[in-house]
Every structure is written in structure tokens, then in C-alpha cells.
Amino acid sequence: MKRPVRKAILPVAGLGTRFLPATKAQPKEMLTIIDKPTIQFAVEEAIEAGITHLIFIIGRTKRSIADHFDSNPELDMLLRSKDKDALADQLNSIVPKDVACIYFRQAEALGLGHAVACAAPVIDEDEPFAVLLADDLMRADVPVLKQMIDIYDNTGRSLVAVEPVDQDKVESYGIVDADLPEVGSWGRLRGVIEKPKPADAPSNQAIVGRYILDGSIMRLLKDQKPGAGGEIQLTDAISKLVAGPGVDAYRFHGRRYDCGSKLGFIECTMASALEHPEYGQPTRALMQSLLAREM
């Protein structure tokens, strides 16, 4: 009998060099889309998918993440004294009381695979777990992780979320060898290559930041040697799972914003502003007047 997916690892210990100087003293996952840090979108997605243990892998700039998901009694009192109870309640419910937050420190940014392996002490060999990268901000009617857990509940096999990328972008991703003709398809992965040259890429289907992984991957990660870019790559360990218990790839329903890149971050901010119930209309007017000025 397979165990349900209840734990999620959220690695937030990368250096975020593409966003310097903003990320000199804070993790890039604390950068906000309007008024919400990208890590909070990932946490909300995980909670909606039924996750009860959030495991953060934090780096040197650790405090703000732990503070953000902790209670703040002084702020709570102040807001209530100003009749802002709804806002105070909203802040208190970011992480419900029955969801636990666990923090591990990654002393050195040695790669995503190394970051995930930092959580090994709380993952059993036979326990599946999720990984969410807050950089990939997902918008979907059914949260992407929930879509994936529904598939996992039927198959009991590790699962990675993928989407097609332009041929000139394959060098930035883990690229899978799998037949996934349309959105909503999922199927067995024959192989995966981290950051291939376009000529070596088995397809244009790229792994994006949502995974459900077999607990046994922790053992594989322990012995994983550095791969592409000199980093300990999660993809290389996934490739070993392919040869063992097997892995599926899933073309999810929804939209991904690559908030790890500046242009993706700008796109996500603009789309969120346009969809905003209060600021959508004024944002549209602002954009039109800015574009008119360009002409």
C-alpha cells in the first residue's frame, strides 16, 4: 500500500544571482508579485493539495522566510486595534494551525539535488514527497500539485511536471524523453537529460518546478556526483529512478510564469496586475497611456 503525499520540500537556498542586488540579503523567493512573495504562492498551492508538512531548505539569508510564515503578535494587535481584523485574520491563516513548518539549512548552494537531500532526515525510504520551486509560479483552476497528486494516487509512481519550451531554451532545463501529445497527457519517462545542447535534446518537453518523488531518491542523492554546471542535480538522480521504480511525466493544465528570470517576473507581475480585482482596470489604463507615450 503506497503512502499518501503529505510532505513538500521548498528549496529556497539558491543564490538568486539573476536578481542581484535585490537578492543580496534576502532570498529571491521573498520578492513579491504585487503584495505577495512568490514563496507564498507555492505554499498556498501545497496546502490546497493537502500537504501537511512544509519543509523549507533555507540558506544564509534565512530569517525573512521563517518570519513570514510565523505569527507576529505585535502586528496582529496593532491591526486589530485599527479595526483591520480581516487583514489580521488573513495573515494568521497563511499557514493553517494543522500544517507544520520545518526548516533545514543548506550551508552551501551546491545545487538543487543537494538542497533536496538536506531534508533526508524527515523523509522515510517508502515515503513519497513533493518538491515545489517557487520560481515557477503556477496559475491553474485546479492547483498543479493537486493535479499531480491525483495522478500519483492512481499510479504510485514518481511524477514530474513538464511543458514544451522553445528549442533555443532547452539548454536551461531538464529535458524528458516521453510521449506527451497534449495538455493533460501523462506517461512513462524513458529518460531525462539536464541542460542538453539542442541537438542532443530528446524532445522540447522541459521539467518545471513541480515534482512528486519516491523517498528512495534520498539515498541516490546522497551519492550523487556534481553534474551540469558543477552542481548536484536533482535531474541526475531522477534519471536513476527512471531505471529503477520508474517515473512519469505530466503536461499539466495551467500557466507557468518563470519568476526566476527577470522577463518572466515582469510578465507575471503585469498579468497579475491586469487580473487584479481592484487594480486591473487602472493598470490597463496606465499601460495604455505608457504605450501611447512610446509612440
Interacting residues toward ligand UTP by CB under 6 A: 11-18, 57, 106, 109-112, 114-115, 133-135, 260
Kindly state the smallest distance separating residue 14's Cβ from ligand UTP, in Å: 2
Q: Which is nearer to ligand UTP, 106 or 205 (CB)?
A: 106
Beta bridge partners of 137: 257
Looking at beta carbons only, is 41 or 186 nearer to ligand UTP?
A: 41
254: left (phi over 0), alpha (psi -120 to 50) or beta: left
Q: Closer to ligand UTP at the Cβ: 15 or 102?
A: 15
Asked whether 95 and 43 are in contact (CB, 8 A), the reply is yes
> Minimum distance from CB of 275 to ligand UTP (Å)?
24
Cα dihedral sign for 149, 153, 158, 159? negative
CA distances from 162 to 3, 150, 195, 252 (A): 24, 16, 14, 7
Q: In this complex, which beta carbon is closest to ligand UTP, that of residue 76 or of residue 267?
A: 267
How far apart are CB 110 and ligand UTP at their closest, in Å? Answer: 5
Are the CB atoms for 137 and 29 separated by under 8 Å? no
Q: Is the dihedral of CA 43, 47, 48, 50 positive or negative?
A: positive
Query: Smallest gap, in angstroms, from Cβ of residue 283 to ligand UTP?
Result: 27
Task: Rank residues 18 and 169 by Cβ distance to ligand UTP and give the closer one.
Answer: 18
Q: At what angle do helices 262-275 and 280-294 cross, to 10 degrees?
A: 130
Least Å distance between CB 258 and ligand UTP? 9
